[in-house]
Chain A
C-alpha cells in the first residue's frame, strides 16, 4: 500500500482524537464517579438507575414516616404510663378513705387531690405531638376536653390514624382513646370525688349512690383497660421495630444495588486511564518522530 505524508498526518490526528475521546470518557467517569452519564451509555443501567432511585427514595420516606410513628407511640406510651400511675394514686386514696378512721375533713382533702388528678388525666388526654392531639382519633386538630375540663361531645373521635411504613404496610400510630380515656373513667372519677365529699361509705349503701368500695371495682376495670391498650401499643412498637430493621436492611440493599448499577469501579477506570495515557503518549511520540523527517532533509 502506498502511504503518503498526508495519510500519516490524518491517521495520527484521527488516533489522537480517538485517544482523547477515550481519556475524556475515563475522566468523566472519574470526576462524576458514575459509569454512565447518559442513557445511551447503557440503556439498561439507565432504566434500572431510575428504578433504584425511586426505590431508595421510597425507603427513605418510609424511614421518615417511621420516626413519625415512633414519636406518636412513644408519647402515647409515656402518657399512658403517667395515666396509670395517676389511677394507681386514686385507688390508694379511695382505699384509704374507705377506712373508718378518717375524718370528713381528711376525706375532703382526698377529694380535692382526686379532683386534681382528674384534671391531670384530662390534660393527658389532650396531649399533643407536633401540635396534634394524639388521643382524639383522627380528629387531631381539636381537643377532647375544653379548658374547663368538660368533654366536647362533637369532637370525640376514636378512629385509627394509619401511617404507611413500608410498601402496602400501614401501622396504627394512635391508641383507641375510648379504652384509655373513656367517658366512664371520668364519670367514675367524678363519682369518687362526690362520694368522698359526701362520705359515701359502706354502711350508707342504701342511699342510691355508689359506695367507695364499688368505685374501687370500677377503677380496677378502667386500669385494666388502660393496661390492655398499653400492651396493645407495646405489641405494635415491637412490630415497628421489626419493620424498621427491615427498612434499614432495604436501604442498604437498594443503595448497594444503585451503586453497583451505576457507580464506576474507580480502580478499573484508573487502570484503563493509565493504559490510555500510555497509548496516547506513545502515539504522540511516534507521530513526532514519523512526521518530522522527509526526503528533503537528505537531499543536498
Chain B
C-alpha cells in the first residue's frame, strides 16, 4: 500500500505556508521592535496528524507517515506576573514622584538656606532693630527698621501667596489626573469590547492585548489597581485572556469597596476629585460613578479622602496638597507648611506688638502696635502687615523704655522677641520654630526623593525583566529569519523533487522503445 501520489506536494505546500507565516511574523516583530508595549510574537509550529490514523479499515503500512507542519497559533511572549510586579512598583513610583515634585516646588519657594529667604529677612529686621536700639533718636535707623519690617511682612505674604498658588496648580493637576484615569478606563473599555468580538471566534488578538496592557500600565501610575479576567465564552482558546475587570486597590493590592472601574459586563465608572465646601483648596474625597463613552461621569458615591487608599500619582497629589483627615481637619504637606507660617506670623506679630506697647515712641508717648493686630492665626501669614501709623511716621516706633529719646532699651527688648520662647509655638522661639519648619520640609522632601528614586529604579528593573521576556531582539529576529528562509527554500526544493518524480512517472514512463 502506498500513499497518494500527490502526498509529497501537499506536505511541501504546508511547509511553505507555515514557514511563510513565520517569516511574516518575524517581519511583524521587526517592524514593531520599537513599539511601546509590544510583545514579540511566535508562531507555534505543530506537526499535522500523521497518516494513517488508527482505525478498523486503516491501510496496512510500515508505520505512520508524517504529513507535514501547520502554524498552530500565533502567541505573544509575555509573563503576567511581571506585569503585576511592574504595576505594583509603578503606582508607588507615581505616588512618590508626584509628591517629590510638589515638595521640590515648596523647597524652591521657601528658598532656604540662602541669603534671600525668610530667615535672612528676619535676621535683617533684627539687625535694624539693634541699630535703632543703639541710635534710638536717629530717624534714618528707624526708617530702616520700618522698611525691614515691611520686608519681613512682604516675605510672609509672598510665601503664603506662592504656596497657595501651587495648591491651586496641584488642584488642576488632580483634576487632570482624574480625567486621565477616566480616559484610560474608557480606552480599556473599548479594547475590552474589541477583544470580546475576536476571542469567541477562536483567535488570539495579540496586538489588542498589548495595547490593553499598555493602557493598564499607564493607569497603574495614577491609581493602584486590581485586575482580573473573565472569559468571553464561545470558541475562546484556553490561552485567550478575556475581559479585563479593573478595580481600585489599596496599598496591599486589595480591591477597595465601591471602587470598580470596569466590571465584568464592561460597564465603566469614572473618578472626580471633590473639594471641601468651606476651604476649596482641601480635598474632601474622590467621587465615583457610572461613566458613559463620552466620558461623562454621574457621581454616585464618594470615597473620603483619608479612605482613598489607592497609592499612585493622584494620591500623591492629594497628600501633598492637603485633604481632610478622619477628624475633619485639613492635613497635608502644603497645608502643614501654610499653617506653620500662619502660626509663626500670628505669634510673632502678637509678641512683637505686646513688647512694642510696653515702650515709648520718640515723642515720649506710649507705643501702640507695630504690626496691624491679627484676630487669629488663620491666613495670618497673608494678612500680617506693618501698622499704617508706623509706615507713615517712623518716630512712632517705640524704641524707648523710659520715654527718653536716647533710650533704646525697648528696641533691645523688641530684638529679643525673635528668641523668646512663645507658648503658641509649643514653647519654641520664632527662630527655632522656623528652623523646624525648614527641617521638616527637608526631611519630607528627602524621603520623597529617596522613595521616588528607589521605586523608579525598582520599576526599571522589573521593566528590564519584562523586556528580557517580551522585547524584540533584532539579532534574534534576523537569525530566525534566516532559519525560516532556509526552511522555506528547502520546502520549495522538496516540492521540486516531488514535481520531478511526477514528471518521471507521467511523461517518461511507458514509452519503452519509442
Residues in A lying within 8 Å of B, measured CB to CB = 1-7, 10-11, 14, 36, 38-44, 46-47, 49-51, 53-54, 57-58, 60-62, 64-65, 68-69, 130-132, 136-141, 157, 159, 161-164, 170, 262, 294-296, 299
**A65:B467 contact, CB within 8 angstroms:** no
Residues of A within 8 A of B440 (CB): 43
**A4:B473 contact, CB within 8 angstroms:** yes
**A39:B133 contact, CB within 8 angstroms:** no
**A47:B442 contact, CB within 8 angstroms:** yes
**B474 contact from A41, A64, A157, A294, Cβ within 8 A:** A294
Contacts known (A61-B130, A130-B135, A157-B404); A299 close to B482, Cβ less than 8 A: yes
**A40:B446 contact, CB within 8 angstroms:** yes
**A46:B442 contact, CB within 8 angstroms:** yes
Contacts known (A7-B467, A159-B402); A46 close to B449, Cβ less than 8 A: no
10 shortest interchain CB distances as A-B pairs = A43-B442, A39-B442, A140-B406, A138-B404, A40-B445, A49-B113, A4-B473, A57-B123, A47-B439, A138-B406
Q: In angstroms, how far is the closest chain B Cβ from the Cβ of A73?
A: 13
Q: In angstroms, how far is the closest chain B Cβ from the Cβ of A290?
A: 12
**B445:A39 contact, CB within 8 angstroms:** yes
Given contacts A57-B124, A138-B402, 7 further A-B contacts (CB under 8 A): A3-B473, A42-B446, A43-B442, A53-B113, A57-B123, A65-B133, A138-B407
8 contacts between A and B (CB under 8 A): A39-B112, A44-B439, A47-B442, A50-B112, A50-B434, A54-B126, A68-B135, A140-B405
Contacts known (A39-B445, A262-B113); A46 close to B439, Cβ less than 8 A: yes
Roughly how many angstroms separate A2 CA and B444 CA in the complex, as a whole number?
39
Q: In angstroms, how far is the closest chain A Cβ from the Cβ of B513?
A: 52
Roughly how many angstroms separate A130 CA and B409 CA in the complex, as a whole number?
19
Q: In angstroms, how far is the closest chain A Cβ from the Cβ of B42?
A: 13
**B409:A162 contact, CB within 8 angstroms:** yes
Instruction: Across the interface, name the chain B residue whose C-beta is closest to A2.
Output: B468
Residues of B within 8 A of A294 (CB): 474-475, 478
Mask of B328-349 contacts with A, CB within 8 angstroms, 1/0 = 0000000000000000000000
Roughly how many angstroms separate A49 CA and B435 CA in the complex, as a whole number?
9
**A64:B131 contact, CB within 8 angstroms:** yes
Residues of A within 8 A of B115 (CB): 53
Instruction: Across the interface, name the chain B residue whose C-beta is closest to A163.
Output: B134
Residues of A within 8 A of B444 (CB): 40
**B120:A53 contact, CB within 8 angstroms:** yes
Contacts known (A2-B473, A68-B135); A53 close to B439, Cβ less than 8 A: no
Roughly how many angstroms separate A5 CA and B449 CA in the complex, as a whole number?
30
Contacts known (A39-B107, A54-B123); A163 close to B408, Cβ less than 8 A: yes
Assess whether B490 is interfacial by the CB under 8 Å rule: no
Residues of A within 8 A of B478 (CB): 294-296, 299
Residues of A within 8 A of B441 (CB): 39-40, 43
Instruction: Across the interface, name the chain A residue whose C-beta is closest to B406.
Output: A140
Q: In angstroms, how far is the closest chain B Cβ from the Cβ of A144?
A: 12
Q: Of residues 441 to 476 in B, which have CB atoms within 8 Å of A's CB atoms?
A: 441-446, 448-449, 460, 464, 467-469, 471-476
Roughly how many angstroms separate A286 CA and B385 CA in the complex, as a whole number?
61
**A57 contact from B127, B464, B472, Cβ within 8 A:** B127
Q: In angstroms, how far is the closest chain B Cβ from the Cβ of A297?
A: 10
Q: In angstroms, how far is the closest chain A Cβ from the Cβ of B126?
A: 7
Residues of A within 8 A of B131 (CB): 61, 64
**B467 contact from A10, A69, A163, Cβ within 8 A:** A10
Residues of B within 8 A of A262 (CB): 113
Residues of A within 8 A of B126 (CB): 54, 57-58, 61
Q: Of residues 465 to 503 in B, which have CB atoms within 8 Å of A's CB atoms?
A: 467-469, 471-476, 478-479, 482
**A51 contact from B415, B435, B475, Cβ within 8 A:** B435
Instruction: Across the interface, name the chain A residue whose C-beta is closest to B111.
Output: A38
**B475:A159 contact, CB within 8 angstroms:** no
Contacts known (A46-B442, A53-B120, A68-B134); A4 close to B467, Cβ less than 8 A: yes
Q: In angstroms, how far is the closest chain A Cβ from the Cβ of B272?
A: 32
**B110:A39 contact, CB within 8 angstroms:** yes
> Chain B, interface size: which category?
35 or more
Q: In angstroms, how far is the closest chain B Cβ from the Cβ of A158?
A: 11
Instruction: Across the interface, name the chain B residue whose C-beta is closest to A45.
Output: B113
Instruction: Across the interface, name the chain B residue whose C-beta is closest to A299.
Output: B478
Residues of B within 8 A of A164 (CB): 130, 133-134, 412, 415
Roughly how many angstroms separate A10 CA and B446 CA in the complex, as a whole number?
27
Assess whether B256 is interfacial by the CB under 8 Å rule: no
Assess whether B137 is interfacial by the CB under 8 Å rule: yes
**A50:B137 contact, CB within 8 angstroms:** no
Instruction: Across the interface, name the chain A residue whose C-beta is closest to B444.
Output: A40
Assess whether B138 is interfacial by the CB under 8 Å rule: yes
Assess whether B290 is interfacial by the CB under 8 Å rule: no
**B460:A38 contact, CB within 8 angstroms:** no
Instruction: Across the interface, name the chain A residue whose C-beta is closest to B133.
Output: A164
**B123 contact from A7, A39, A46, A53, Cβ within 8 A:** A53
Mask of B133-146 contacts with A, CB within 8 angstroms, 1/0 = 11101100000000
Residues of B within 8 A of A163 (CB): 133-134, 408
Contacts known (A57-B123, A61-B126, A161-B406); A38 close to B445, Cβ less than 8 A: yes
**B138:A130 contact, CB within 8 angstroms:** yes
Contacts known (A46-B438, A61-B126); A138 close to B112, Cβ less than 8 A: no
Instruction: Across the interface, name the chain B residue whose C-beta is closest to A134.
Output: B406
**B107:A40 contact, CB within 8 angstroms:** yes
Instruction: Across the interface, name the chain A residue whose C-beta is closest to B477.
Output: A295
Instruction: Across the interface, name the chain A residue whose C-beta is closest to B77.
Output: A2
Instruction: Across the interface, name the chain A residue whose C-beta is closest to B136.
Output: A140
**A2 contact from B133, B135, B407, B469, Cβ within 8 A:** B469
Contacts known (A64-B131, A141-B406); A4 close to B472, Cβ less than 8 A: yes
**A42:B442 contact, CB within 8 angstroms:** yes
Residues of B within 8 A of A4 (CB): 467-468, 471-474, 476
Q: In angstroms, how far is the closest chain A Cβ from the Cβ of B166?
A: 15
**A11:B464 contact, CB within 8 angstroms:** yes
Roughly how many angstroms separate A42 CA and B407 CA in the complex, as a whole number?
44
Residues of A within 8 A of B124 (CB): 57
Roughly how many angstroms separate A277 CA and B181 CA in the complex, as a whole number?
42
Assess whether B255 is interfacial by the CB under 8 Å rule: no
**A6:B467 contact, CB within 8 angstroms:** yes
Instruction: Across the interface, name the chain A residue whose C-beta is closest to B404.
Output: A138
Roughly how many angstroms separate A210 CA and B475 CA in the complex, as a whole number?
125
Residues of B within 8 A of A139 (CB): 404-406
Instruction: Across the interface, name the chain B residue whose C-beta is closest to A44.
Output: B439
Residue in A3, A40, A62, A137 with the greatest tally of chain B CB atoms within 10 Å? A40
